[in-house]
């Protein structure tokens, strides 16, 4: 049985699979087509076509990533460690366009963050290391990839930088060159 919570931004869900623990460890189903599509309130009907695994050290910030064409829905969970996971609504007709929501995902809480297509996604690693798995309903197309500035002043995401030693995240060169939210909006209007 799944526990599913709707979040303030329409379409975002937190899924908590039933976990079975004993002295050997634990077991849970991270995806079961029947269980995730059977409830009328929270159906996740995406046909997932790609699974991604990401391993990172404490203080690494990945994102904010999206695809301008062929956007991806994602089901994200932390297999090991803890992350601060963020989704930004980029659906132009959404009443929450430009708003963001965050969740702590960890191997302890076993929460899964469902992010529908049309969102940018990123995360900050809070534990010494983190192993993240996420299912995608669309393939990765590098030619459509966009990276928004993780620290964009208009998005004003409240990253918990006080929880990492340096108070400054480790960001890839590609993500350091991310575009502003204002520039992202201009690009979308012109395309």
Which of these is catalytic: 84, 97, 134, 140? 134
134 is catalytic: yes
User: 178 and 150 in contact (C-beta within 8 Å)?
Assistant: yes
65 is catalytic: yes
* Element counts in the chain: helices (H) and strands (E): 3, 13
Q: How many CB atoms lie within 10 A of CB 114?
A: 22
Residues 6+ away with beta carbon under 8 Å from 141? 67, 69, 70
Q: Residue 165 burial (CB < 10 Å; 0-12/13-18/19+)?
A: exposed
The DSSP bridge partners found for residue 105 are 83
Which of these is catalytic: 36, 65, 84, 114? 65
**Residues catalogued as catalytic:** 65, 134
């Amino acid at each position: 049985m799944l526990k599913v919570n709707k979040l303030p931004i329409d379409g975002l869900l937190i899924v908590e699979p039933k976990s079975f623990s004993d002295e050997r460890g634990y077991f849970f189903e991270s995806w079961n087509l029947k269980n995730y599509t059977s409830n009328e309130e929270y159906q996740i009907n995406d046909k997932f076509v790609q699974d991604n695994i990401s391993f990172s050290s404490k203080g690494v910030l990945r994102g904010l990533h999206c695809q301008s064409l062929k956007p991806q829905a994602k089901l994200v969970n932390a297999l090991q460690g803890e992350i601060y996971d963020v989704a930004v609504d980029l659906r132009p007709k959404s009443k929450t366009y430009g708003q963001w929501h965050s969740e702590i995902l960890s191997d302890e809480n076993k929460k899964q963050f469902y992010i529908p297509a049309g969102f940018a996604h990123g995360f900050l690693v809070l534990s010494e290391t983190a192993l993240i798995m996420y299912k995608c309903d669309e393939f990765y197309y590098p030619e459509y990839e966009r990276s928004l500035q993780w620290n964009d002043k208009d998005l004003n995401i409240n990253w918990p930088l006080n929880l990492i030693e340096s108070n400054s995240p480790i960001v890839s060169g590609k993500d350091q060159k991310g575009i502003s939210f204002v520039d992202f909006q201009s690009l979308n209007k012109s395309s």
